[in-house]
Amino acid sequence: MLDDFSRVLRFKPHLLVLDAGPERLFVVDEFKRTMLSGAIFVQIAACLRARMTIAETLTSLAGTFGEWQVLAGLDHLVRRAYVRSDSPCEDDAARGFFERIGLDGDAACERIAGKRVAVEAFGADDIPLRHALARAGIGIEPDAGLTVALADSHDRDDLADLAARVSLRGGALLIAVANGVQPLIGPLLAGDPELADAPCIECVRYWIRLNRPVEALLARHHGSAATRLPQAVSRAGAAAAAALIAATVERISVDPAAAERARTHIVALRLDTLTTAQHRVSRRAQCPCCGNPAWMREQAARAPRLTDSTPLRRNDGGYRSADPQQVFERYAHLISPVSGAIAYLHPMPKRHAGLRNVYAAGFLVCPAAVPRDNRFDRICSGKGRTDVQARVSALCETLERFSSVYQGDEASVSGCMEDLLAAPACDASPIHVNALQQFSARQFDERDAINALTSDIRKQVPPRFTPRDVIDWTPAWSLVTGARRLVPMSYCYAETPESAQDAVPCVHNPNGCAAGSSREEAILQGLLELIERDAVAIWWYNQIPRPGIDLASFADLYFDALVREYEALGWRLWALDITHDLAVPAVVALAENTADGRFSIGFGCHLDARIATQRALTEVNQLLNLAADGPPPWDHTKLASTGFLYPANDMPCTKNTTWQPVEAGTLTAAVEHCVARIAAAGMDVLVVDKTRPDISLPVVQVIAPGLCHFWPRFGAERLYSVPVQLGWCDEPRSEAGLNQALLFL
């Protein structure tokens, strides 16, 4: 720019350039400001305002500052992109806009001047959009490289047909839904193979449909066209939405980075509050259109291999391979009420306070059958020693439960046990349903009476299962023998087609389902949950007094502070050692309101006794209800004795040093230790890999047929034998003598 001294330079029109005295010149933009020190800049600015050529500026100022200093000052303005050498024109404002967002204003204006788009409408009025595009100088012509589809919903078959046609001719498609209070713009669908994480139209439709479960349910009865909301938009709102769509077209046409982001995001604008939000749309690696629809079946055909040899990271959250903040940042994009697997995530009201870090999260489900109430969300929660631990705990539990909802692409085989076992090509023997559910003969006999008391499927007794009952099965792999087995699909996955039937022989049971940053981590957490719940069931239903835990022996500041906080709230907090024959530290923590006798309860299990205790304490936080406006953890009227809830007076307290340390240097070693303990007790350990590739968080369900659940399943042999084996009882209790206060937490 300084190679031709006959040029006239001017400050770019979007900059405010004013001096503040003879030695300071300010260059002010919308988002930043710069101060140039030195009289030379103040004087150069005056020359530029006077429309002097570079030569005239040199002549005017060289006598005062010297020619080289003047040239250096001019060069500084050029390098900082403060000046240009053309004459003012009508495009200056547009150039200034693009310059302010970091683009080349000239190139952007040139691109916009030649921009042409096609416009297609699907159940929406496209006149405001056509006007907005015309005002932006963007022409409209059929079969242009970019098509803007204005629709009343992302989930339209004709919109999917348009996407296929546009893709076939190598074009790009920008979808916009602008018929309500919250217009949605995006994503931009373009056949760019280099952007591997960009979704296709079927990916978009999946996520949108997922977050509209009521419409999906009603569409089964009336068709999808009948479930679209009527238009509700003001004239000004329609114009505003159209202008924003035109601005999006303008931006993605001139800014490659913006276009790339538009490929994976939907922008939501609330016209009532004028707030915007970006919603990530994930590509589904198992998508039947752009991915591998056999992904889940192929995954199920592979036996899980334990290969993680990374040294254990022993921290507050357990044996984790990533810290909580890393995990949150990795999966936070899945939180969205528009296009995410997680509809919401926030601190839990009335629970999250002080040292009690508790978060609530949820995902939406279109149930197999019409629900009895208006609940389409599945609420999950998370707890932790810190805020970020609780937040990530809720996030991971929600993704774990989401991954356990039946989607139809899971590996499955249909048949009865007799036929499957007799089949010549059978390479996997099925597990009898009641080896998993463990209902007693008495519970089956009294099924009608028990079920008449509740509509909660978890609390009901299913019909007796026989080897001639035809059900769906899914593969599981033994960590003990390496053998492939079959387990009931409805046991592992929620909302299976069978669950819509009135009499389901096997209900969904998430016991042992867990997530982790690696498969080994997920398996370990699932194993610990199984062991914990087995220990809880044996303690609770046999009402066995157990030793208290000396919380002070851990010398843990959090434990000590939490006890004091509960005391200040009028509650007493303590913990019991319920470790049993599997010899993995298991803890139950309880809190009691000293005024009215209300309780909260929590459980924990871990190879590290301190972490087991911490998990139990933080679960008490999760279930603590200070306001007394929620259901109690159990029916107090059915609890014949409360003595077992308190530390046994005739037993010495368990201290931090009481438990024998477990030497496990890696996650794999920790898993193998737990598997060995369960196998030594005569039980197998099975794994079902539920990891969804579009979620990517490893999720498994670990199943150990024979271990107890704290749900009332009174046919479990260990419920009666282990207390006698350990000398906790002289003889097995009768089923009628078990605790009749049932646990459903």
Cα separation, 378 vs 362, whole angstroms: 5
341-347-348 Cα angle (round to 5):
95
Q: What is the pLDDT of residue 497?
A: 87
Q: What is the pLDDT of residue 518?
A: 93
Q: Where are the domains of the chain?
A: 10-88, 105-280, 295-404, 538-665
- 474 and 493 in contact (C-beta within 8 Å)? yes
Measured on CA atoms in the order 424, 481, 530, 492, is the torsion positive or negative?
Answer: negative
Is the bond into 705 cis (omega within 30 degrees of 0)? no
Cα separation, 419 vs 468, whole angstroms: 8
Give the CA distances from residue 361 to residues 257, 343, 348, in Å, rounded to whole numbers and listed in that order. 32, 7, 8
Q: What is the pLDDT of residues 277-290, one digit of tens each?
A: 999 999 999 999 99
Q: How confident is the model at residue 189 (pLDDT cuts 50, 70, 90)?
A: very high
Give the percent of the chain with pLDDT over 70. Answer: 98
Q: What is the pLDDT of residues 89-110, one digit of tens each?
A: 877 888 888 888 888 888 888 8
Cα separation, 427 vs 429, whole angstroms: 7
Token code pair at residue 693: 């590739």
- 585 and 606 in contact (C-beta within 8 Å)? yes
Cα separation, 584 vs 660, whole angstroms: 9
Q: What is the pLDDT of residue 696?
A: 96
Q: What is the pLDDT of residues 473-528, one digit of tens each?
A: 999 999 999 999 999 999 999 999 887 676 778 999 999 999 999 999 999 999 99
For residue 141, how many other CB atoms are within 10 A of its CB? 9
Q: What is the pLDDT of residue 423?
A: 80
For residue 212, how many other CB atoms are within 10 A of its CB? 20
113-119-123 Cα angle (round to 5):
150
pTM over 0.85: yes
CATH topology of domain 10-88: Outer Surface Protein A; domain 3 (3.90.930)
Which residue matches tokens 């202008």? 243
CATH topology of domain 295-404: Double Stranded RNA Binding Domain (3.30.160)
Cα separation, 284 vs 302, whole angstroms: 20
675-704-739 Cα angle (round to 5):
120
Cα separation, 706 vs 431, whole angstroms: 11
Q: How confident is the model at residue 191 (pLDDT cuts 50, 70, 90)?
A: low
Token code pair at residue 567: 């005391």
Q: What is the pLDDT of residue 231?
A: 84
Q: Is-same-fold flag (295-404; 538-665)?
A: yes
- CATH number for the domain formed by residue range(s) 538-665: 3.30.160.660
Token code pair at residue 362: 């949820």
Which one of 371-375, 567-571, 624-628 scores highest in mean pLDDT?
567-571
Q: Which residues does 727 contact at the CB level (< 8 Å), separation at least 6?
A: none
Beta strands in 579-720 (DSSP E): 586-593, 599-605, 686-689, 699-703
Q: What is the pLDDT of residue 512?
A: 97
Q: What is the pLDDT of residues 375-401, one digit of tens each?
A: 899 999 999 999 999 999 999 999 999
Q: Is 315 left (phi over 0), alpha (psi -120 to 50) or beta?
A: beta
CATH H-level superfamily of 105-280: NAD(P)-binding Rossmann-like Domain (3.40.50.720)
